[in-house]
Amino acid sequence: MNSREKILQTIGQNKPAYVALPPVNSFITQTDDLLNTFAETLTASGGFCTVVADLQPVKDFVLQQKQKGLEVIVGVEGLSDNNIGSFKNYSAVQLQQVDTVVVKGSVAVAENGAIWVTESSMGNRVLPFISEHLIIVIDKESIVANMHEAYKRITIDKEGYGVFIAGPSKTADIEQSLVVGAHGPLSLQVYII
Amino acid sequence: MSKRVIDHSEEATAFLKDEKRAAWHDETLWFVRAKRDKAANKIPDWEALRETASKIKEHTLSNLDVLLQEFESKAIANGITVHWASDGDEHNQIVYDILTKNKVQNVVKSKSMLTEECQLNHFLHLKGMQVVDTDLGEYIVQLRHEQPSHIVLPAIHLKKQDVSETFHEHLQTEKDNIDPTYLTRAARKVLRQKFITADAAITGVNFAVAETGGFVVCTNEGNADLGAHSNKIHIACMGIEKIIPRAADLGVFLRLLTRSATGQPITAYSSHFHKPKEGQQMHIVLVDNGRTRQLGRPDFRNSLKCIRCGACFNTCPVYRRSGGHSYHNSVAGPIGAILAPNLNMKDNADLPFASTLCGSCTNVCPVKINIHEQLWSWRQLLMKEGYGGVAKKTAMQTMAAVLGNSTIYKLSGKMGRKFMSWMPGLVNNKFNPWYKQREMPAPPKQSFNEWYKQNRKNE
């Protein structure tokens, strides 16, 4: 008998009597003031949050960074230099100098400041992590109250990979002192349109 | 009982010798516990969440074989290779075979308590492979040739100065520069190169979803993602109890996990892996290593509901004052003390006694494991199986004899009071562990029984 069979057989012998699976749809959803709740929560987690009327401030920022000679990769529709698709097959070594990546988030969660970013919107899975700085653009309408609402809106296996991002990379592993910017991005800026 | 290499109470004594450091450890973890309370209190139906999480896990355990097979077939359909390992050795061999088949020399690893349990690093190191732990806390303890002392805060036993010295030695940072940002940046520089120049990445798994055949990994540092996405091979290692039935269940667990662990609303990254990226191999190793045996112990199977948040560590008065290394097990703290005896009853017989049974662990557990009751049940079982030690057994037998007979009880009470007032040194001495850090109470002149008889006579 191989290990798979042995494990499954032992579970069959040892498992307790069947317990029904509970529903997960009866939790309190606080829907008032989603925008401010989201902004406050994300700010508390070390992110920056700016409410904008349209994409113009994002365009201005990207231009500014590029003029400084920094490598910026853009993955938001409506921005003229949307080039994220062309980096799909780049290796991490080739992407290690990237300064800023701009991506679109599809669902944002007020309660914890998390934003769902899919593989197709990041072009290359490593981009939101290897970049020194990350910018996520979201629509105000995409903010939901909590994780239950978020999972109703997304299909986690629609693509090969997806991630909730809720701030810049951080650590408190040295004597519990919070340091923003561990191995991933040193900063996260969210633009809410 | 044969003498084990490490004994919890002996190690705790050593830990407490540095009073200042021990006090810092205690206070810091209590601060994390307080942050957990604050985060939990912000959720109006926190208790309903805990109850639901507990029920989902109970369902999972009652249907584990079915869910594992559902997960396996969905994962295979997603293009993931699924492996099964009965124990730690088989797990290590599977990982090694994948690595050698692909001519891997350098591996980056993000946090996985399972690989600690199986001692994978040690195994691969002996085979000549380089494995770098990339979680900052784990990286620090790896450089120091130590074990993590906490499942969420691996280097909580260390101070800035310790980290500074370690980094000065290994990363050539400035001597005595103890600035956490400076030290973190130094590690960032080294580890980012490790991520992009490695040949394979190993990660743990926080949740594996049966319905979709994918898995979720939570980190604050982004190290699991940097490793997994930078490399051609991603191996995810998980205990079989990490399965949850539905994608919607993630909503429940991700709301509970980090709030319980550190008081954060969620980790910076909650990554959902379902398919390997183009040109990548993705492997999952499903590991038993005693879990099916624990499933067959009605008193202890609930321990398999654990989601490894560490809340029971932070609240535990014994853990906070003894440190993680005193538990001599990959998972320390109260949950470790009920998991470890299942792995090896003899070597871990001391751990269920490393508790005051105050029940705080049970109160904070996000999946409602009755930890303190299981600690008590393990004590019963360990004594019955003969792992309690001669001293404990003799003491228990003596106590049973004294408390079971009123004549002996009265007589020994009288003798005790006399001895304690005439010759306190006879009981309050270094051979009696009860008097360590304790002052002798003044013995009463008479028992209540004697007082009652005397006063009634005077009426």
Is B332 in contact with B8 (CB distance < 8 Å)?
Answer: no
Average pLDDT, integer, range B95-103: 98
Residue of B115, B72, B50 whose CA lies nearest to B305 = B50
A160 in B contact zone (CB under 8 Å): yes
Question: What residues of B are in contact with residue A163 (Cβ under 8 Å)?
Answer: 225, 269-272
Q: Which of A28, A159, A167 sits opposite B44 (nearest CB)?
A: A28
Average pLDDT, integer, range B319-346: 97
What percent of chain B has pLDDT above 70?
A: 97
Backbone conformation region of residue A146, classed left if phi is above 0, alpha if psi is from -120 to 50, else beta: beta
Residue A135: both structure tokens together: 């910018």
Please report where in the chains the tokens 């986690």 appear, as a residue: A156
Q: Do A146 and B251 touch (CB under 8 A)?
A: yes
With bands split at pLDDT 50, 70 and 90, how would you rate the model's confidence at B4?
Answer: low
What percent of chain A has pLDDT above 90?
A: 95
**Taking 50 as the threshold, does the pLDDT of residue A5 lie above it?**
yes
Average pLDDT, integer, range B391-411: 83
Q: Do B251 and A150 touch (CB under 8 A)?
A: yes
B175 in A contact zone (CB under 8 Å): no
B195 in A contact zone (CB under 8 Å): yes
Q: What is chain A's mean pLDDT, rounded?
A: 96
Residue of B nearest to A25 (CA): B248
Q: What confidence score (pLDDT) does residue B51 get?
A: 98
Question: What residues of A are in contact with residue B255 (Cβ under 8 Å)?
Answer: 111-112, 146-147
Tens-place pLDDT, residues B157-195? 999 999 999 999 999 999 999 999 999 999 999 999 999
Residue of B nearest to A40 (CA): B265
Q: What confidence score (pLDDT) does residue B458 get?
A: 67
The total number of residues shown for chain B amounts to: 459
In chain B, what are the domain boundaries?
1-40+310-393, 43-134+199-292, 405-458
ipTM of this complex prediction, to 2 decimal places: 0.98
- Rounded Cα distance between A129 and B229, Å, is 9
B191 in A contact zone (CB under 8 Å): yes
A32 in B contact zone (CB under 8 Å): no
| Phi (first) and psi of residue B70, to 5 degrees | -65, -45
Tens-place pLDDT, residues B243-292? 999 999 999 999 999 999 999 999 999 999 999 999 999 999 999 999 99
- The CATH class of A31-192 is alpha beta
With bands split at pLDDT 50, 70 and 90, how would you rate the model's confidence at B424?
Answer: confident
Indicate the pairing of strand B269-273 with strand B243-244: unpaired
- Rounded Cα distance between B1 and B416, Å, is 30
Residue ranges of alpha helices (H) inside chain A are 3-14, 34-44, 56-67, 92-95, 119-122, 127-130, 147-153
Q: How far apart are the first and last CA of chain A?
A: 59
Q: What confidence score (pLDDT) does residue B3 get?
A: 47
Tens-place pLDDT, residues B293-307? 999 999 999 999 999
- Rounded Cα distance between A57 and A66, Å, is 14
Residue of B185, B150, B153 whose CA lies nearest to B167 = B185
Q: Do B220 and A182 touch (CB under 8 A)?
A: yes
Please give the helix or strand (H or E) that residue A142 lies within, else none. none
Residue of A nearest to B25 (CA): A175
Q: What confidence score (pLDDT) does residue B459 get?
A: 65
**Taking 50 as the threshold, does the pLDDT of residue B12 lie above it?**
yes
A40 in B contact zone (CB under 8 Å): no
Exposure string of A31-47, with b = 16+ CB inside 10 Å and e = fewer, is eeebeebbbebbeebbb
- Rounded Cα distance between B367 and B52, Å, is 8
HSE-CB of A103 using CA atoms within 13 angstroms:
29
**Taking 80 as the threshold, does the pLDDT of residue B321 lie above it?**
yes
Residue of B324, B312, B317 whose CA lies nearest to B368 = B312
**Taking 70 as the threshold, does the pLDDT of residue B362 lie above it?**
yes
Is A142 in contact with A187 (CB distance < 8 Å)?
Answer: no
* 3-state DSSP assignment of residue A18: coil
- Taking the whole predicted model, whether its pTM rises above 0.90 is answered as yes
Q: What confidence score (pLDDT) does residue A87 get?
A: 96
Q: Do B136 and A182 touch (CB under 8 A)?
A: yes
A56 in B contact zone (CB under 8 Å): no
Q: Give CA angle at A39 (A36, A44), nearest 5°.
A: 125
Question: What residues of A are in contact with residue B240 (Cβ under 8 Å)?
Answer: 7, 11
The sheet that has B281-287: what strands, in order across it? B81-85, B281-287, B233-239, B200-203, B106-109, B130-133
Question: What residues of B are in contact with residue A124 (Cβ under 8 Å)?
Answer: 229
B40 in A contact zone (CB under 8 Å): no
With bands split at pLDDT 50, 70 and 90, how would you rate the model's confidence at B446?
Answer: confident
Q: What confidence score (pLDDT) does residue B421 get?
A: 76
With bands split at pLDDT 50, 70 and 90, how would you rate the model's confidence at B2?
Answer: very low
Q: Do B248 and A173 touch (CB under 8 A)?
A: no
Indicate the pairing of strand B214-219 with strand B269-273: antiparallel
Is B267 in contact with B233 (CB distance < 8 Å)?
Answer: no
Indicate the pairing of strand B233-239 with strand B200-203: parallel
Please give the helix or strand (H or E) that residue A88 lies within, else none. none
The total number of residues shown for chain A amounts to: 193
Please classify residue B144 by burial: count the beta carbons closer than 10 Å to its beta carbon, then call 0-12 exposed, 13-18 middle and 19+ buried. Answer: middle
Judged by average pLDDT, the poorest of B37-51, B270-284, B412-426 is B412-426
Tens-place pLDDT, residues A12-28? 999 999 999 999 988 99
Q: Do B272 and A163 touch (CB under 8 A)?
A: yes
Question: What residues of A are in contact with residue B69 (Cβ under 8 Å)?
Answer: 8
Interface of A with B in 130-149 (CB under 8 A): 130, 146-148
With bands split at pLDDT 50, 70 and 90, how would you rate the model's confidence at B398?
Answer: confident
CA distance to partner chain A, nearest, from residue B420 (Å): 46
Tens-place pLDDT, residues A91-117? 999 999 999 999 999 999 999 999 999
Amino acid at the residue B244: I
Amino acid at the residue A113: G
Average pLDDT, integer, range B214-219: 98
Q: Which fold has domain B43-134+199-292?
A: Rossmann fold (3.40.50)
Residue of B nearest to A166 (CA): B268
**Taking 80 as the threshold, does the pLDDT of residue B390 lie above it?**
no
The counts of H helices and E strands in chain A are: 7, 11
Q: What confidence score (pLDDT) does residue A47 get?
A: 98
| Phi (first) and psi of residue B243, to 5 degrees | -70, 140
In chain A, what are the domain boundaries?
31-192
Indicate the pairing of strand B281-287 with strand A170-171: unpaired
Q: Give CA angle at B84 (A17, B271), nearest 5°.
A: 90
